[in-house]
Amino acid sequence: MNSFQSVFRSDLFQGQTIVVTGGGSGIGRCTAHELASLGADLALVGRKIEKLETVKAEIAQTCGVKVSIHSCDIREEEKVTATVAEILAEHGKIDHLINNAGGQFPSPLSSINAKGWETVVRNNLTGGFLMAREVFNQYMVKNLGKTDMSITNIIADMWNGMPGMGHSGAARAGMLNFSETASLEWAPVRVNAVAPGFIASSGMDTYPEPMKQTIMQLDKTIPLQRLGLEAEVSGVLAFLCSPAASFISGSCIRVDGAAPNARRIWPVGTGKQNPVFNSFHLGGVPEVIQRRDAERAGKK
């Protein structure tokens, strides 16, 4: 990568420090490149330090901003507290937090045990809360009104439920409500959520190949007829940190090509009886999508 071609002004975040969790891959990596190209100093947080080192080296080749990297599991309260203190010791300030780290394993609800449920809820709800609380308590609350500060929480486009993602969907719904309450309690810090739909990110590589192939074929069910790009999420994240969003707080911006507007109807049923699970595990196209495509073809 020679440089990131952002649509924003190249000095937009000059002199600002932005924390990006999950900055070592996918949407977080892309966001780190975009923000660095706009002059931001960065603190990248993730569990695997090698991934963060790679992104830091990539950015060093393209621009001269300061990048610090921090190995931290956002689910560990003491570690989060220490990491935010470490970031402040290195940068002296945190203008914006992008709570992007997260993920889950796909499973029917009936097969998730308490440990698995808690693992995913801690990853997608508790961890983001801990990061936000520490950034707010250790820095933002002491600097209210001096400068525009924001927290953006990545959730997911799982409105009305999503088979195989029940634990994650519950956590993301919680994160949305947390964002709404924090926008009240922590104003004038702006707190928003961003809900990506199906994004062809490197995160998809963590899924088994047949499931990945099935997800790639979902483009036909999305009104814009394609999956989203990492840069289409990072652009919105940059916008929310910018003065152009200075009156936006307590909101959720969907980045999903209008997928929920297509009123996708999931097949009901538990476990392997549900065609969604069959298709995701075996690599076929869900029946419901075949039916819709056939109906559409019939109308043409």
Chain residues that interact with ligand 8Z2, rule: CB under 6 A: 103-107, 113, 115-116, 119-120, 123, 156, 164-165, 198, 203-204, 206, 215, 276, 280
240's tokens = 């929310």
Supply the minimum distance, in Å, between the C-beta of residue 52 and ligand 8Z2. Answer: 15
In degrees and rounded to multiples of 5, residue 254 shows phi and psi of -85, 140
User: Site residues (CB under 6 A) for ligand NDP?
Assistant: 21-22, 24-28, 46-48, 51, 73-75, 100-103, 123, 127, 154, 156, 196, 198-199, 201-204, 206
Rank residues 32 and 189 by Cβ distance to ligand 8Z2 and give the closer one: 32
CA distance 162 to 205: 20
3-class DSSP state of 62: helix
Q: Which does 105 bind (CB under 5 to 8 A by kind): ligand NDP, ligand 8Z2, none?
A: ligand 8Z2
> Cα dihedral angle (182, 185, 189, 190), rounded to 10 degrees?
40
54's tokens = 């790679």
Q: Which does 54 bind (CB under 5 to 8 A by kind): ligand NDP, ligand 8Z2, none?
A: none
Q: In the 3-class helix/strand/coil scheme, how is 194-218 assigned residue by residue?
A: EEECCECCHHHHHCCHHHHHHHHHH
Supply the minimum distance, in Å, between the C-beta of residue 296 and ligand 8Z2. Answer: 22
Q: Which does 202 bind (CB under 5 to 8 A by kind): ligand NDP, ligand 8Z2, none?
A: ligand NDP
Supply the minimum distance, in Å, between the C-beta of residue 252 and ligand 8Z2. Answer: 16
Rank residues 103 and 161 by Cβ distance to ligand 8Z2 and give the closer one: 103
Q: Which does 280 bind (CB under 5 to 8 A by kind): ligand 8Z2, ligand NDP, none?
A: ligand 8Z2
Q: Which alpha helices (H) appear in the chain, and where do they start and end?
A: 26-37, 49-62, 77-91, 114-121, 127-138, 166-185, 209-216, 230-241, 275-282, 287-299
Rank residues 46 and 257 by Cβ distance to ligand NDP and give the closer one: 46
Please report, for residues 22, 57, 74, the alpha-carbon distance to residue 1 in angstroms, rounded to integers and kept in the order given: 19, 11, 29
Rank residues 9 and 48 by Cβ distance to ligand 8Z2 and give the closer one: 48
Angle of CA points 235, 238, 240, to nearest 5° = 110
Rank residues 103 and 269 by Cβ distance to ligand 8Z2 and give the closer one: 103
Q: Which does 164 bind (CB under 5 to 8 A by kind): ligand 8Z2, ligand NDP, none?
A: ligand 8Z2
Place of tokens 């009240």: 184
Rank residues 75 and 167 by Cβ distance to ligand NDP and give the closer one: 75
